[in-house]
Structure 1
């Protein structure tokens, strides 16, 4: 669909109207127009459209990113923003580095499963930060994938053929499935929340977690024993649970695309590894090295431009009638700032179809910014629309910055990535860089890649690094 939208933009211009099954859409393929509508007029275009296969997501409390603006949305978003910002000041308390050390050991011992292990790795980081329980990492990854299926056009047919949702309950398989799925998910989040609460009261819960922060705030407000009714517990458990889930689905795909990009562009893999070796030597990169590794950051950022994880953008909905460029935009119209198109505007991104990290490293490119000790990054500067617009901007940019950097740089430090060769012919097996699932947030389909330690010494360093932190991993 994103390719079709770009084709229409090339014909009809950077903003045009279309309709599908009676729903009005405005498709934006220009960064300035998106800023005008979704940022400067964010008070009009901050609604979320109904995703038919999800229940009550617009009112909450289960899906803060999918709610309309209301009191629940405001409270959850404010709390998550503060928790993320505070954690980022401490670079997430070393959790990312510890989990990456484990991830490198997993890659070393079972490289063939790199694709699925990336999702579990992202889940383990988020579960540790939220609940102090990395053991739920794989389950959160699977739950995230299931939720994305329900959200996506490619998911249940009721997301496109919406009248089917009105079939009476007794004959409606989509309502029955979603009711059961959501009940299981909410019960799981609530159980995680209640276990964390009990551990907090026993003083067993790690202080470097978001649940600890939440319970501590309740006690400061006078609720010493953390007594809550069912509604209050559901509010908090959904807020933390969904924050956890989003942290998995927004980072897994970009990391998969990054490994693919390094495999397809060995010249940039070599440049990044030379930079890492010069700065880090025989130790794994950490967040302390961010300023000194601009080539690595450029490769990471170019990955998200070249293969956006959200190529359609996340939809906004007009909350009232508006007018733009002499055209009326009626209440309920869905506005899509199409990432695939915006990332391919030639004046902004010359040679847009080519993976070119130098666009962030050399002054002759439009996206170059100084100082290179700061730019490029995922939180600010050119090309930050990947994380949404205005009042609906993603709250996880801080953790994306750290987790993408440490994981990506560390894999480059430890491993050599290359195309697999056919055992019969000896020829390299091609990789289809656009072969993905069809969710609203993409992951790559499993692709053939050889992942080998860069040397016997590096393999030993990976195992030693894991052994040093193994007993401190919280499961």
Structure 2
């Protein structure tokens, strides 16, 4: 057995050496050149050891400062480029979307964790297109508008609890995001954010973030490791176990809605249950050509995308308000002038609240054919990283980029200013949502949330630094964020109080009305919770 293992390891090393030599022998076509590359790349591994396992965009930004807006690097013979210019990212990922819309194949995340069913990680293929068709139907602008009553309801609950107990701000923001998507996705309510089904699906979200993060598993860089026997590849057992767990969860959520639809049909219900993503698919299966498992993953992916990102954006918003209080004062003045003190902001107020908006590392694309851009040659299979950290620090678009300055969107002297202000600033086509055919499908829903939530929070609340024992405000770190590709500020302290008793009373009245008018108020989801408990570990 020892000899057998030694032989396998030796064969792997030889294969890697051949791969590295073959890769170095490739030359760009005449009249083209390779992108500038960081120094000190190593034999076989390339620049793998220069990239930190977390917050890799910081290292990419350093390379950009040294080498320019297009930087090439290699990991185990695989070509990568980092783009740090919004213009270049748009030119490639949007205007040439037919060849830049695939994904680097992450063996652990795509094959073993997802069973090649998760749209986020699929190649640009027919399965992805079928799933995208369903996503578009569920999240297009007209559909997003129909979800606004649910956003108003969930934001009222969030604001009521935030005023009652600001220390649990993370829970309230996560409950808003997951509660909204759970209503939209499955027609179910999340009451506390700590229910079994809510925790299970958030566990799936965190697992995806961990496993799909760059450098998490060696098999992603060396795909031939998947041919190792299972006793030498524990990632296989881990991946299969996690896949079975999440697939059972997604199936159960979808089948519970199917059981409701069938029960309504048998009973001849005059008032059907509220609409949902799942119900839409069940009632129009033939139009999308998806298997049950494919649809289950499309719906689960929409939950994954919506539950974490909105909450993370709101936590960054609170941090910005704590660190830069003058902008909170500007929002106070705008909200009081537009909305007044006796009612909360509504969607119809948003066009008149340009100061009170909040804008949101993306997932890499993969090039499917050879391409040339500005004289640089990119071979087929190149992985393309649009580095949002650097893009949003481009001094040509964002003068003095390290300064928090919402005036960039409000003052005509800045290059990012657009008119009219009753439409801009907005999140449509904002690069943080991705590029081209891989742009975030839930952007319309997210935009509504990220207009409404900041406006409501600042209308009702005054936020400030927490006072220390010496009476001096405690300044939280500007950048102390969690790892993974959906990052958020680590917990920080701040003070939050109602701006007035009139506003607190208005929130309490609105909360009571929301509770009474909630179409899901009478359901506690015992059936769903019981089904999920049966899945076990």
TM-score using structure 1 length: 0.89
CA distance in 1, matches of 2:327, 2:215: 34
Q: Do the aligned residues in 1 keep the contact of 2:102 with 2:368 (CA within 8 Å)?
A: yes
Q: Do the aligned residues in 2 keep the contact of 1:59 with 1:68 (CA within 8 Å)?
A: no
Q: Is the partner of 1:134 in helix, strand or coil?
A: coil
Alpha-carbon offset, residue 370 of structure 1: 0.7
1:338 paired with 2:399, answer no
Selected match of 2:241 from 162, 180, 201: 180
Selected match of 1:92 from 127, 135, 147: 147
Q: Is the partner of 1:386 in helix, strand or coil?
A: helix
Q: Do the aligned residues in 2 keep the contact of 1:57 with 1:67 (CA within 8 Å)?
A: no
Alpha-carbon offset, residue 31 of structure 1: 1.7
Q: Which stretch of the first structure deviates more once superposed, 18-27 or 368-377?
A: 18-27
Selected match of 1:255 from 314, 324, 336: 314
CA distance in 2, matches of 1:468, 1:456: 18
Alpha-carbon offset, residue 161 of structure 1: 7.3
Alpha-carbon offset, residue 24 of structure 1: 1.5
Query: Which residue is equivalent to 2:442?
Result: 396
CA distance in 2, matches of 1:57, 1:44: 26
CA distance in 1, matches of 2:417, 2:222: 45
1:408 paired with 2:454, answer yes
Query: Which residue is equivalent to 1:461?
Result: 506
Selected match of 2:91 from 17, 30, 36: 36
Alpha-carbon offset, residue 59 of structure 1: 9.0
CA deviation digits over 1:124-156, x for unaligned, max 9?
A: 100000101123444433331222111113645
Selected match of 1:151 from 212, 234, 240: 212
Query: Which residue is equivalent to 2:494?
Result: 449
Query: Which residue is equivalent to 1:289?
Result: 349
CA distance in 1, matches of 2:366, 2:463: 42
Query: Which residue is equivalent to 1:210?
Result: 277
CA distance in 2, matches of 1:57, 1:327: 35
Q: Do the aligned residues in 2 keep the contact of 1:99 with 1:125 (CA within 8 Å)?
A: yes
CA deviation digits over 1:47-87, x for unaligned, max 9?
A: 10122331428996631122111111101101111221155
Larger radius of gyration between Structure 1 and Structure 2: 2
Query: Which residue is equivalent to 1:348?
Result: 397
Q: Is the partner of 1:53 in helix, strand or coil?
A: helix
5+ residue gaps, structure 1 = 305-309
Q: Is the partner of 1:399 in helix, strand or coil?
A: helix
CA distance in 1, matches of 2:112, 2:350: 37
5+ residue gaps, structure 2 = 1-55, 191-196, 265-270, 525-537
Q: Which stretch of the first structure deviates more once superposed, 125-134 or 455-464?
A: 455-464
Q: Do the aligned residues in 1 keep the contact of 2:343 with 2:503 (CA within 8 Å)?
A: no
| Cα pair distance change 1:334/1:150, threshold 3 Å | same
Alpha-carbon offset, residue 338 of structure 1: 0.9
Alpha-carbon offset, residue 97 of structure 1: 0.6
CA distance in 2, matches of 1:371, 1:356: 19
Alpha-carbon offset, residue 43 of structure 1: 1.5
| Cα pair distance change 1:205/1:172, threshold 3 Å | farther
Q: Is the partner of 2:147 in helix, strand or coil?
A: helix
CA deviation digits over 1:8-39, x for unaligned, max 9?
A: 11221111211123321111111221122212
Alpha-carbon offset, residue 259 of structure 1: 1.0
CA distance in 1, matches of 2:432, 2:128: 21
What is the root-mean-square deviation of aligned Cα atoms in Å? 2.4
Q: Is the partner of 2:109 in helix, strand or coil?
A: coil
CA distance in 2, matches of 1:150, 1:172: 15
Alpha-carbon offset, residue 205 of structure 1: 5.3
CA distance in 2, matches of 1:324, 1:25: 15
Query: Which residue is equivalent to 1:358?
Result: 407
CA distance in 1, matches of 2:216, 2:473: 34
CA distance in 2, matches of 1:160, 1:115: 35
Query: Which residue is equivalent to 2:170?
Result: 115
CA distance in 1, matches of 2:444, 2:226: 38
Q: Do the aligned residues in 2 keep the contact of 1:420 with 1:450 (CA within 8 Å)?
A: yes
Q: Is the partner of 2:140 in helix, strand or coil?
A: helix
Query: Which residue is equivalent to 1:75?
Result: 130
Q: Is the partner of 1:278 in helix, strand or coil?
A: helix
| Cα pair distance change 1:421/1:462, threshold 3 Å | same
CA distance in 2, matches of 1:91, 1:291: 18
Q: Do the aligned residues in 2 keep the contact of 1:207 with 1:213 (CA within 8 Å)?
A: no
| Cα pair distance change 1:452/1:403, threshold 3 Å | same
Q: Which stretch of the first structure deviates more once superposed, 278-287 or 161-170?
A: 161-170
CA distance in 2, matches of 1:287, 1:355: 26
1:421 paired with 2:480, answer no
Query: Which residue is equivalent to 2:13?
Result: none
Query: Which residue is equivalent to 1:54?
Result: 109
Q: Is the partner of 1:16 in helix, strand or coil?
A: strand
| Cα pair distance change 1:51/1:388, threshold 3 Å | same
Alpha-carbon offset, residue 110 of structure 1: 2.1
1:232-243 correspondence runs (5 A): 232-243=291-302
Query: Which residue is equivalent to 1:272?
Result: 331
TM-score using structure 2 length: 0.79
Alpha-carbon offset, residue 272 of structure 1: 0.9
